[in-house]
Amino acid sequence: MVMRRVLQLSLAYILAYFIASYLDLRTTLLALQRPGTSEGNVYSTSGHDYIATKAWLITVAGALFIEMFLLFGALNARRVAGHWLRHPLRSWGKFYIAFWSQRVIDRSPLHMLSFVIAFVPLRLLAAGNNLLIYHFGSAPLGRLIGLLSHRTSAAVAFWLVMGPLFYLLAFLCTPVAARCVAWLRSDKETPNQSSQPTAGRSGG
């Protein structure tokens, strides 16, 4: 039962991840049609040229890497303390780096799933940013990266903007991750069903 649900979650996530990635990369090509537009993600470029094949290779490699964190979170779902499932946002109150440590295993699987889930809205936001550039010639994320790159470097600017945004999205995705953990631990068929008894208390 548990392994079947882990497999279902993994497959559902991979599908969502690649759909969001396709939208991101497809809209990137649209945005680059605007004169004077350049790709802000330095890892998908060579010099000043955007390399679509390179971007897709990074996407595929990223999927494999992310899946490892998903498996860690899913396989350790039963070790998450019930208190953090009822109050998932409060679980971020303790800073740590070694997510595999026994001292934080009562919350780290929840956080790993939050980070994993956050990649999907992150790429959807990037796609939205690309569409703004395509239609209006400018967008918030690209503007911030451009401003910071003049004072630092393209790589540093990229991480200064996308890093905090990713962490914010992971924080906001924690209630969703908590539902996934509850589903993995329950006898219900869907994450929504498994979270119904505590829906009024979760998220605080």
Number of other CB atoms surrounding residue 194 within 10 Å: 19
Q: How many separate helices (H) and strands (E) can be counted in the chain?
A: 8, 2
Whether 201 has a pLDDT exceeding 80, the answer reads no
Q: With a cut of 50, say whether residue 200 has pLDDT above it.
A: no
Q: What is the pLDDT of residue 37?
A: 79
Q: Mean of the pLDDT values across residues 35-47? A: 74
Q: How far is CA 98 from CA 21, 110, 170, in A?
A: 28, 14, 17
> Comparing 42 with 170, which gets the higher pLDDT?
170
Q: Which tokens is 185 given?
A: 């631990």
Q: What is the pLDDT of residues 113-156, one digit of tens each?
A: 999 999 999 999 999 999 999 998 889 998 898 899 888 988 89
Tokens representing residue 129 in the block: 């940013």
Contact predicate 34/134, CB 8 Å: yes
DSSP 12-69: HHHHHHHHHHHHHHHHHHHHTTSTT---S-GGGEETTEE-HHHHHHHHHHHHHHHHHH
Segment 45-52 shows an average pLDDT of 77
- Tens-digit pLDDT profile for residues 167-180: 999 999 999 999 99
